Structure 1
């Protein structure tokens, strides 16, 4: 379960960073900017993904034994 949380956290971290890099440098990679529902709110979605990533990392740490 901890490895699944870490993997999900890593994906959220990568997508959050990719969204911020896209907004500030015009490099076109990541999924946040490709979702039409988030049009105009990409920065907020990217920051939310970064917060989610750190929450998932914290949850995976709390699940480890010892």
Structure 2
């Protein structure tokens, strides 16, 4: 895909969602393990009390899956 090809709205949405989930989950893990401030603090509202680490790992895995699905949709649309 060249830079002049427009990106479909679905691809843009899945890319954004994937980014937010992966970076938010990684930020949450860093906060839990090292005590750093949250880069994306709003993701803490998605993690139930007592299950923060599991929730952040699931967010990362889900973000990677959404990114892969969006990439597959984009490739299928170009073929």
| TM-score class normalised by the smaller sequence | 0.7 to 0.9
- Structure 2 residues not aligned, in runs of 5+: 1-9
User: Cα RMSD over matched residues?
Assistant: 1.7
Give TM-score, length-normalised by structure 2: 0.73
Bigger-Rg structure (1/2) = 2
- Structure 1 residues not aligned, in runs of 5+: none
Please identify which structure carries the higher helix content.
1
Aligned length: 65
Give the one of 43, 49, 52 matched to 2:53: 43
Instruction: State the 4+ residue runs in structure 1 displaced beyond 2 angstroms.
Output: 30-33
Of structures 1 and 2, the one scoring higher in RCO (CA 8 A, sep 6+) is 1
